[in-house]
Amino acid sequence: MIVRRYRGKSLESLRETVQRELGEGAVIVSSRKLGAEGLMGKIAGAEFEVVAALDDASAEELDDSRQEALVEKVAGAVKPQVMSIRREIKMQDDKLVDLEEKMATMCDQLSRIEKRSHQAPAPVISISSGGEAKGPFSHLPAEWREALVAAARVPGAGPTQLLDSLASRLSAADGILFRRNSGEGPDVFALVGPTGVGKTTTLAKLAAFATLRRKLSCALITLDTFRVGGADQLREYARLLGADFSVVFSGDELRRQLDRVKDRDVVFIDTQGRASRDRAGVETVCKILATAPECTPVLTLPANIRAGDAQQALKAWGRLDPACLILTKADESGCCDGLPSLLQQAAIPVVYITHGQRVPEDLQPARAESLAAMICPELAPNPFLPAENPE
């Protein structure tokens, strides 16, 4: 039997408490009124005390009902978690099924590769009896072809070895080392080259890189008063970057502007785009830049330039003795068969490759491996070409 004692302000509230805790089968054995003691007791009022009892059978029923209520409460709280676990298990099952399918495909591919490995391997590069490379490598200079021939004759040689052999022949400088003004004046770079190669956008990318990534102060100067909207485009870039901007029309004006911004870390000069065969136009650019001997010319040409155009560009702009080369529009250059002629004749390092219109994201420091892949897509895909959309 369960016996409990309760105290409260009224018998009615005590009766409800007894029924709530012990159930309908509980019996009130006794009740009495307790006297108030002291001043605080009188203020608080009298209390009642009851003694309630519950026999063993009723107690067992009460325990059962409490257990059932507890089970229902726990089940209600756990149910969302159980459903979540079931969903997670189903997702994992789906992933396992997908993984099994992929593993089956891979096993099938490995089996095919193993079968082919027992067959006579096809030559990576076709070599004539005279020792010259045929087919896709015929556009390479003779010296580079000989290097590929030598690499191909090494037992076990594959595309990777040939690509490394070609990359060892290429000069890439992995970007320009921009620096803070040492007190001797800013570094000055002028982008020169034919019209339509993307000099203005490339200059904006360089300025954004120096300003946002290297935290350097920049000044932008344009000589491009020939192209409609050229100065306005660069002025807007300068405004967004917080860079100084000026337009010059002559060598004397260029000299004055360079003296004015001598406290800047780096100065970029955008020149007029002139056709390589336009001798008078190229001469105009050369005369203006001659007033700035501290300027470093950077030849800017498209990655898909033709061999004949490359030779003409180097002849025209070589008068400025450019220190390095930037290749533009790599994302539009599915064929770069003129690039070997350009790189061999220029004999200057490639510092950057541009591959889109985003500023400055689509500016990549040049690496020999990337150049080799652009020249010989048979060995590795051009890393800058966008992926083709499926039909």
Q: What is the pLDDT of residues 215-269, one digit of tens each?
A: 999 999 999 876 656 688 889 999 999 999 999 999 999 999 999 999 999 999 9
Spell out the residues 6+ positions from residue 128 whose beta carbon is closer than 8 angstroms to its own.
134
Per-residue pLDDT of 351-376, as tens digits, reads 999 998 898 899 999 999 999 999 98
Which CA distances in Å does 117 have to 95, 122, 127, 154, 378?
32, 10, 22, 18, 20
Place of tokens 């533009």: 328
According to the model, what pLDDT value does residue 377 have?
Answer: 86
Per-residue pLDDT of 120-161, as tens digits, reads 344 445 544 444 545 567 778 888 888 888 888 888 888 888
| Of 319 and 110, the one with more pLDDT | 319
Report which DSSP code applies to 124: S
According to the model, what pLDDT value does residue 98 have?
Answer: 76
175-204 burial, b if ≥16 CB within 10 A, otherwise e?
bbebeeeeeeebbbbbbbbbeebbbbbbbb
User: Looking at the domain 187-375, which fold is it?
Assistant: Rossmann fold (3.40.50)
**Total number of residues shown for the chain:** 391
According to the model, what pLDDT value does residue 58 have?
Answer: 60
Assess contact for 197 and 328: CB atoms under 8 A: yes
Per-residue pLDDT of 46-61, as tens digits, reads 788 888 887 766 656 6
Closest CA to 201 of 368, 384, 361: 361
CA-CA-CA-CA torsion for 77, 79, 82, 87, nearest 10 degrees?
-130
What is the enclosing helix (H) or strand (E) of 281? helix 279-289
* Beta strand spans in 156-265 (E): 187-192, 218-222, 244-247
* Lowest model confidence (mean pLDDT) among 15-24, 79-88, 92-101, 132-141: 132-141
Question: Considering the entire predicted model, what is its pTM?
Answer: 0.65
Q: State yes or no: pLDDT of 14 exceeds 90.
A: no
Mean pLDDT on 18-33: 80
Write phi, then psi, for 120 (nearest 5 degrees). -65, 125
The mean of the pLDDT values for the chain is 83
According to the model, what pLDDT value does residue 316 have?
Answer: 93
According to the model, what pLDDT value does residue 133 have?
Answer: 47
Spatial separation of the C-alpha atoms in residues 248 and 256, rounded to whole Å = 9
| Of 231 and 312, the one with more pLDDT | 312
* Lowest model confidence (mean pLDDT) among 16-30, 165-179, 301-315, 341-355: 16-30
CB atoms within 10 A of CB 218: 25
What is the enclosing helix (H) or strand (E) of 270? strand 266-270
Angle at 348 between CA 261 and CA 385, to 5 degrees: 95
**Peptide bond just before 360 cis, omega within 30 deg:** yes
According to the model, what pLDDT value does residue 136 have?
Answer: 61
Q: State yes or no: pLDDT of 208 exceeds 90.
A: yes
Spatial separation of the C-alpha atoms in residues 338 and 282, rounded to whole Å = 22
According to the model, what pLDDT value does residue 52 have?
Answer: 83
Spatial separation of the C-alpha atoms in residues 112 and 102, rounded to whole Å = 15
